[in-house]
Structures are given as C-alpha cells and as structure tokens.
Structure 1
Amino acid sequence: MNALGRHILAEIYGCDPAILDDSELIKKIMVDSALAAGAEIREVAFHKFSPQGVSGVVVISESHLTIHTWPELGYAAVDVFTCGDRINPWDACNYLTEKFKAKHITATEVKRGLFDQPVSVKVSNL
C-alpha cells in the first residue's frame, strides 16, 4: 500500500507547565522540531490564551505540525502530518516530548491517502 502521508496524533502528558504556557518557547520548540525532522518551514502562527494555554501551527512544505496546550494539566495535544517519505514525523514527536520534559506520550500513526495502485485522473473541459 502506498500512502500520501503519515499523520501522528500525540497525547503528551506530564509536561513542564511553565514550558506549555510560554507561547514564544512553544513556537521555538515546534519550529525546531520541524527542522530537526528535516522539514522546510513555510508559515508559523501561535496564540497565547488567557489565563493559560497556547495553540499554534507550523506549516511546512510537507504539511503541518499543530499543538494545543493545557499547562494546568501538564498536557499537550500535538499533530504532526508529513507527506512523502523524505522526513519522519516521529523525529519531530520525539523532539517535542524531550523538550516539553514529558513523562509519558501516547501516539498513533495514521496513514493518509492510501492507494493500492496509481491513480489516473481524467480532466475534461465543460
């Protein structure tokens, strides 16, 4: 089976709450995780919530990384989606887990765009 991409859905627990509530640090860690995996950065957008929490996205040529944090629970929900086989999304997840000082991670990989055989597309002018 050929897949267009790999999508990691990560539940990251026992993280340092101070890290999870620092939007600039979260942005740096997310960008650095994408670069560590070999991705090419396109766009970056993050938002700090009041009284706590951060959400953000790092758009990469290969797709994206997203995060939403609950500092009060030491928890981060992270998605790492990469297309093609040039980079490994697990490299980014492992980097994040280390930098968040996490005690536990549960993650699932979903293959996106599964095809048994090459797809042909017929285009017609209407």
Structure 2
Amino acid sequence: MPLSRWNPSDALARIEAEVGDAAAHAHSASVSTATEGDDLVITVSGVDPSDVDVQVSGGRLTIKGGGGTSTSEHRSEGGATFTSSSSSSSSFSRSFSLPDGVTESDVSTTPSADGVTVRIHNAA
C-alpha cells in the first residue's frame, strides 16, 4: 500500500465542500395546493414569511422566496485563536397560471409561523 503525505489544506477543502453541499440541500420550501369552497389555497412552508414575495401579473401568480443563515465561532487553544464561520442561502420560485377573470385584488396572502398562505378568492 503506497504512503501519501497528509495535507491539512486538502483535508479542510474537502470538509468545507461536503458541509457546503449539505447546507445547500438542508433548506427547502414546501409548496402545496388545495381548494376550499371556490377558493384555491397555496401554502408555502419552511420559509420566513418576510422572505416571500407574491406577485400577480399577466395571468400568472408567482411566489418567490429566499433566506439564509450564518454563524461564526471564535476560540482560543494553546495560545492560538481559531475562527470558523459558515453560511447558507437558498431561494425558490413557483409560478401558477391563474383562472380567467382572476385579478390581483382576488389574491390575498397571510403569513404564518412556518411560511405563508396565498388564497385566490372565488377562482371557480
């Protein structure tokens, strides 16, 4: 078995890449649709409501969102100071065709603890 010299920079780069890949997949918005009477209801969960933008234009409803987190840690050990930081971000966009006759005034948005609910009134 051949011996290879351990390179801490290569090891750190590999770990950072693996953590970055995991963080990129850790956050995702969930979008579900339902009907309540004549209303269409779209629920977006897993996002901060302040990071969600709802637009009605050209017969389409578009819901966009994003967010991210960052952390930083400092510690001293044996006279040396170590700093580590990480951040992640994500975004999503979903578009829906609106039924004929639905206008911007027929669409309402309600924030919740886990996301937003978009209601298209009298869409039948």
Give the TM-score of the pair, scaled to structure 2: 0.31
> More relative contact order in 1 or in 2 (CA 8 Å, sep 6+)?
1
Give the greater-gyration-radius structure (CA).
2
Where is the strand percentage greater, Structure 1 or Structure 2? Answer: 2
Higher helix share: 1
